[in-house]
Amino acid sequence: MTALKRKLAIVTGGGSGIGFAIAEKLIQQDMKVIILGRNAERLDAARQQLGDACHAIPADITHLAAIPALVNSIVEQHGPINILVNNAGINHKKDFTEVTDEAFQQVMLTNVTAVFTMSREVVKSMLPLGAGCIVNISSMAAQYGIPKVIAYSASKTAIEGMTRAMAVELSPKGIRVNAIAPGFIYSDMTAKALDSDPERKARVFGRTPMGAMGQPTDIGDAVVFLSSDAARFITGVVLPVDGGNSIGF
Ligand code: NDP
């Protein structure tokens, strides 16, 4: 996909799991990738693994006031940003009545407000180019009721609405905005929970027509596609990458 060659991408949460695989797949397309995350040590280990095309910047995206300066310094140092992947996200699993206002707000701050602020600042650098691409990582929790993840579900549904609203406003200016809704993907977020609970793992596999969990690289491949010219006429969609989970069984 030559259209991606030498372009610059930011991947939030690129130090682990799905974000790492997204960064890796973009780098395989000859792109330069900036990965962001809070854990500086883990981020640096990821940067070493990803090689010279990767730059790591320790940053907490919930520090909203710092985002404009962060994005400006990236543009000053590396040039205009072509692709933003809003991948960083957190979950908070608790019974409905045990979710505190603070915990709910923290999930919304990370998964929604920070996605908005990052996108707003990056779009400012895309507008003069008249081109750009944003990919938001949602979840099937946006479409399904899943018990004990109230804030996560609300946040992912918000991301999908935001994706459509951004797409209608920004696509006339050359900026495409899409989302990916991963199904059950084997990553840090899911591995511990499933490996320690074989019955749940069997249920997950049973609910997925393809009978398996996805790999982080499956999401990376979908990001490459949506970011590339092969998707030049695609904007405002939510692409399920879920082994058929969303079509029922
Ligand atoms: P991980 O927990 O492995 O990764 C989450 C990443 O987000 C980490 O790298 C973390 O880095 C980063 N992050 C979290 N909070 C912040 C913050 N405040 N500032 C900067 N970075 C932050 O999870 P996954 O890889 O599984 O998830 C990636 C995305 O995919 C999430 O949006 C998740 O909701 C979504 N998803 C995952 C599914 C799955 O099955 N795994 C299914 C559906 C959706 P650090 O801790 O260093 O800050």
Residues 142-179: tens digit of each pLDDT: 998 889 999 999 999 999 999 999 999 999 999 999 99
Q: Tell me the backbone φ, ψ of residue 11, rounded to 5 degrees.
A: -120, 110
Asked, for residue 152, whether it belongs to a domain, the answer is: yes
**Beta strands at 32-37 and 8-12: parallel, antiparallel or unpaired:** parallel
Asked, for residue 94, whether it belongs to a domain, the answer is: yes
pLDDT of 192 above 80: no
CATH number of 189's domain: 3.40.50.720
Asked, for residue 234, whether it belongs to a domain, the answer is: yes
Question: What's the pLDDT tens digit per position in 56-68?
Answer: 999 999 999 999 9
Give Cβ neighbours of residue 92 (< 8 Å, ≥ 6 apart): 99, 103, 104, 106, 107, 149, 151, 152
Query: Do the Cβ atoms of 218 and 239 come closer than 8 Å?
Result: no
- How many domains does the chain divide into? 1
Half-sphere exposure (Cβ direction) of 228: Cα atoms closer than 13 Å: 18
- pLDDT score, position 191: 75
SS (H, E, C) the chain: CHHHCCCEEEEECCCCHHHHHHHHHHHHCCCEEEEEECCHHHHHHHHHHHCCCEEEEECCCCCHHHHHHHHHHHHHHHCCCCEEEECCCCCCCCCHHHCCHHHHHHHHHHHHHHHHHHHHHHHHHHHHHCCEEEEEECCHHHCCCCCCCHHHHHHHHHHHHHHHHHHHHHHHHCEEEEEEEECCECCHHHHHHHHCCHHHHHHHHHCCCCCCCECHHHHHHHHHHHHCHHHCCCCCCEEEECCCHHHCC
Asked, for residue 249, whether it belongs to a domain, the answer is: no
Q: What is the mean pLDDT of the chain?
A: 95
CB 189 near ligand 1, within 6 Å: yes
Asked, for residue 248, whether it belongs to a domain, the answer is: no
Q: Summarize the confidence of residues 1-7 as an average pLDDT.
A: 80
**How far is the C-alpha of 197 from the C-alpha of 208, rounded, in Å?**
17
CB 155 near ligand 1, within 6 Å: no
Question: What's the pLDDT tens digit per position in 83-111?
Answer: 999 999 999 999 999 999 999 999 999 99
Enclosing domain of residue 135: 2-238
Q: Counting atoms of ligand 1 from 1, which one is nearest the CA of 17? A: 25
Asked, for residue 213, whether it belongs to a domain, the answer is: yes
CB 234 near ligand 1, within 6 Å: no
Using pLDDT thresholds of 50, 70 and 90, give the confidence band for residue 249.
Answer: low
- pLDDT score, position 1: 59
Query: Do the Cβ atoms of 203 and 211 come closer than 8 Å?
Result: no
Asked, for residue 103, whether it belongs to a domain, the answer is: yes
Best of 12, 20, 38 for a ligand 1 pocket test (most atoms within 8 Å of beta carbon): 38
Asked, for residue 27, whether it belongs to a domain, the answer is: yes
State the distance from the centre of ligand 1 to the C-alpha of 170, rounded, in angstroms.
26
Please count the other Cβ atoms lying within 10 Å of the Cβ belonging to residue 61: 24
To the nearest 10 degrees (0 to 180), the angle between helices 188-195 and 198-206 is: 120
Which tokens in the block code for residue 3? 């259209």
Using pLDDT thresholds of 50, 70 and 90, give the confidence band for residue 113.
Answer: very high
- Catalytically annotated residues: 152
